[in-house]
Structure 1
Amino acid sequence: MNPRTIELKEQLTHLFEKTFSAKPEFFFQAPGRVNLIGEHTDYNDGFVMPCAIDYQAMIAATPRDDNKIVVTAASFDGQVSEFELTQPVAHSEDAFWSNYVRGVADVLLKKGYELKGANLAVTGNVPQGAGLSSSACLEVVTGLTLSRLAGHDISLKELALIGQQAENEFVGCNCGIMDQMVSACGEDGHAMLLDCRSLETTSVSIPEGLAVVIINSNIKRGLVDSEYNTRRQQCETAAAHYGVKALRDINVEQLESGRGDLDEMTYRRAKHVVTENQRTVEAAEAMKTSDVLTLGRLMAESHVSMRDDFEVTVPGIDAIVEIVKDVIGDEGGVRMTGGGFGGCIVALTPEAKVDAVKEAVAAKYPAVSNGLVADIYVCTPSQGASTL
């Protein structure tokens, strides 16, 4: 157990004892994630390649004798929320965070699983709002907790789908499956190549000597919801133009030959998705053979495509990418990660150059970002959801 996990467990035990006047009996965890390559491809039935990281959501739990779920959250000053499993699960207006827990319980009940009452304490160290999937890991760890306490051996893949359904239908965010799937099924030391249509996963070993470095620009992602929906619509328009279910179903040659009267903006949106799918599959092959040169090139091309064709980067993000690239050269890769309009970049950085990357970002980024300071997380690709 890494030091961060041990510290989290201790904090959680303290919160549980303070709230419920007893020690917890069980602990469960599910990690956050970062996407190495494959951006805005998930809702186009395409390919993504995330890895789970060693920042996580954790739940301490003890069964109750009744049908009540009572849950408290460290991130919200120990606020307590409760609901009855024998009644239709309602949304909470005053404890919005609890809707992720409520949503997962609701989906499990509607699928016919009997659940048992429990006292739960929730905490996590996944940075919120950075695009590292703090909500998905909360959904996955909730599903694991409620199902195991009730004696149901639901597969981790099924728990990922339950988490996604909870976010789509109960919380009301139309997310793809990537975040929950890698949080549930990630593997130590590996990234996951995920086919978002078939849900087939392939573990891909990260080349030795490379660290996963996540740099949060701290640029608030203001436009992301409206622009995200616009991008989805543009992709659907392009798919309809080509007469396919999703952009996953055409290659670059078909993209060019069938372009016809497609307007320039919609064409560029489609071009990003089609080429990004190809890059993601090629990146998985490059990682399997430890071809860091090719991997770095593909990550660079991915960033340029997001900047120029999909138009989801911002100047501060582009600046961090250039700062990191100047340090690591062709010994790794760097690109924006996540929905865009702020948020994070991810770099596969030689371990020997991690400190140089930190120093360069600290020295140069504030000057091009109106004084913003970036937060840097050096991560280890980690195991998915588990009982501790």
Structure 2
Amino acid sequence: MNNKTIHKKVNLNIVLGIILCFLSFDLITKIFHVYNIGGFNRYSAIPKLLLEIFLIYLFFKNSKKDIKGASCIAILVIMSGINLFFTDEKITTDLLFEKVYDLNKYMYSFFFAIVLLAYEKDKQTKILTYIRNVLLFVGIVNGIFMIIGLFTDIELLRSYSGTRRFGYNGLFVKTSETSYMYILLIISTYYQYIKTNKNGLLCLFFIFVSLLIGTKAIWLFIMLLTGIHLLLNKNKFIRNFSKIGLVLGVISSYVFYDHIVKLVVNSFSFGPSIYKEYGFLTVLTSKRDLLLKSTIEYLNEKGTILNYLFGGINIRDYGAEFEIVDIFIFFGILGVIIFAYLIRRTYFKEFAGIHKILLLISLILVTFFAGNFFMSIMCSIFAFVIFQNMDYYDVPDKSDS
């Protein structure tokens, strides 16, 4: 075994160790939370901090750098510092800490991406493929624990511990992160299936266990994925039949609206009470529409032109938990534009076929309603890995005419 092979093996072992630390420390945090163990319980933050320090070291060590990507991150950091002066809140140590903490979470995956993409193509491919394969394995193992939770009702495996609400997220600590993780696993295996005809059964397994999580985000994504699969199907008859079915579905939704509302409302334990007090939209958005109203009221009352351009509003107090809205009030219009540019550079480095674009749009739509995707370091990093891996299967789409 030569030095180069040993070096590659060491690098991959480091990657594996980092991923396992992310997930194992996440589990420790969940155990402390579920069983109300006192003391320090932010163990999941430890490996993320250590990885960030390592990324900073790699960024300065590597002579080749993504100057455009790094410049965009630097601009957002500078804007976030300047817009502290646009807030009507008193600038305190706590406010500064919260601001830096939230900014770091937003920028983390982009910084991870520009560090990794600065390396040679072979090295990128090796590491990204390795991370993706580890994620698939973790998704399978955690899915098995979710099924065990379904049949045993072990509290540690439930999505909503301490309640009777349906849902099982296995060994992950946050239900929203679990939803995003399985959405990404479905995207990855589905894309590989349509490009190479492999991993179809694994994709179906991920779809099945994702339904056990018990979130509306999963249902929304599966509906969008079904639409993509049928409307872009290689078989012309299926495509045309799906278009007719879509029209009939829209008409049926209008005709049987009241029945559909009743079915959706009664599908959640909290549904009837919220529906009676606030209405159907509040049930669908899990009260996020109420937060959005509060955000709009705050902007109308205290928002300035500088806030609209550069952000500066505290998302912890006035966030709507709608992804694009929270990014807007944090960074402003100019920040949203730069943020979108970073997404473009991170997710579509080389090739962007129609399936890849629509899958990303579907993910973004889900994050719009569910929120906190880019604030999740683990999910946003894994999304970068999953979408970069798509390039390894990509050839221009050739649908039947």
TM-score by length of 1: 0.24
- More helix by percentage: 2
TM-score by length of 2: 0.24
Query: Which structure has the larger Rg?
Result: 2
